[in-house]
């Protein structure tokens, strides 16, 4: 996505990423983690704000830093970095709230053509999966990188 992103830092395994959102609420440290699930090559994408004082990471925080598109683009950038290192990985993502899941869906929809070049994307329905379609309210998403 040719839109602005934040600079990303990561550990050597490229499974934990950090970047700093900048806006009217100040500098907010964001963390992204790809955690292995109980199943081989399946990872969960976690994303939230790091509390500067406690170090606690909160995935329900609403930062209102007027940069949601830039933040989302940066999270997608971590997806490229992670799947460069783990090309076989399947990644599950869902929002911590319905509105955040909707935000993910809108982000995917907005850049769907480009995203489909690089990733296969599925949407989670009640108890099944389908290839991602615009304007469907999904519970979660699975993504897999195409040719790395």
Partner 1 sequence: MDIKDLNMKKAPIVVIDKSLDFFNDKVLFPEKLAKANEMLKKVGLPKMKEAL
Contact set with partner 1 (CB under 8 A): 1-5, 7-18, 31, 33, 35, 37-39, 42, 44, 46-48, 57, 59, 74, 77-78, 80-81, 84, 90, 92, 94, 96, 118, 120, 122, 124, 127-131, 140, 142, 144
Q: Taking a C-beta distance cutoff of 8 angstroms, is the pair 57, 31 a contact?
A: yes
CB of 31 to partner 1, least distance (A): 6
CB of 118 to partner 1, least distance (A): 7
Q: Are strands 42-50 and 90-93 parallel, antiparallel or unpaired?
A: parallel
Min dist CB 112 to partner 1, Å, is 15
d(CA 124, CA 94): 9
- Determine the Cα angle at 97 with ends 94 and 98, to 5°: 85
């Amino acid at each position: 996505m040719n839109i602005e992103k934040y600079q990303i830092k990561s550990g050597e395994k490229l499974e934990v990423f950090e970047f700093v959102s900048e806006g009217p609420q100040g500098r907010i440290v964001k963390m992204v983690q790809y955690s292995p699930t109980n199943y081989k090559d399946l990872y969960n994408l976690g994303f939230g704000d790091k509390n500067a004082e406690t170090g606690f990471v909160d995935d329900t925080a609403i930062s209102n830093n007027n940069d949601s598109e830039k933040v989302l683009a940066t999270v997608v950038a971590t997806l490229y970095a992670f799947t460069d290192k783990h090309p076989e990985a399947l990644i599950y993502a869902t929002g911590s709230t319905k509105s955040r899941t909707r935000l993910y869906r809108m982000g995917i929809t907005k850049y769907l053509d480009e995203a489909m070049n690089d990733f296969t994307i599925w949407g989670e329905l009640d108890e099944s999966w389908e290839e991602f379609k615009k304007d469907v309210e999904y519970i979660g998403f699975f993504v897999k990188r195409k040719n790395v």
